[in-house]
Amino acid sequence: MPERRKTSGRTTRRRAATREAVAQTTRIADARAAARALETKREPRARAPGDRDPFTGELRRRGVLPMLVLHFMSDGPSYGNALMERIASVTEGVLHVNPNTMYPLLRQLEEQGLVRGEWEHPERRSRRYYSLTGEGRREYRRLVKEVRPLLDSIGRSISEIVREVYG
């Protein structure tokens, strides 16, 4: 009969956390596979290289990217490229947002009345500066509360993966 090793509570918790992280990653992968299956039924569209980053898409759907955009606008008006640079800087390049993601998001936020866009030089197309509206400030506060559990979960999952792999 093989000898059974006793496991400590810490090891058990680490294994449980690792299983949770793997399960969460699997759910995301399954959702991506389902989305890809649906896309094959549609007419394919041209994509920029950054469009294929599922991490950015997931963060946008879960409210993280809109929250960051509204957060940076709470300091004052901003424009698309500046927002993309600030997000890349804050996340140390982990989250790269390309124009094909940022500008549709800004238009959507504007349509929802959360931001107001104005051309830097109205007589010609130039930079379009976006400012938060009162509704945008309320939405920002709501997202800050709603998104926190997701960010905490991602942080715990990454910490557990690092701990599992690197000790």
Q: Show me where the domains of the chain are located.
A: 9-41, 63-167
How many CB atoms within 10 Å of residue 57? 16
Q: In Å, how far from its chain's centre is CA 119?
A: 27
**pLDDT truncated to tens, each residue of the chain (167 aa)?**
555 555 567 777 777 777 776 667 666 666 666 666 665 544 444 444 444 566 777 877 889 999 999 999 999 999 999 999 999 999 888 888 899 999 999 999 999 999 999 999 888 878 999 999 999 999 999 999 999 999 999 899 999 999 999 98
Q: What is the pLDDT of residue 59?
A: 79
Give pTM, 2 decimals. 0.66
For residue 70, the surrounding DSSP H or E stretch is: helix 64-73
Q: What is the pLDDT of residue 4?
A: 52
Q: What is the pLDDT of residue 124?
A: 83
Q: What is the pLDDT of residue 56?
A: 72
Q: Which residues pair with 116 in a beta bridge?
A: 131
Kindly give, in sequence order, each residue whose CB lies less than 8 Å from that of residue 66, ignoring residues fewer than 6 positions away: 60, 105, 109, 139, 143
Q: Is the CATH number of domain 63-167 1.10.3720.10?
A: no
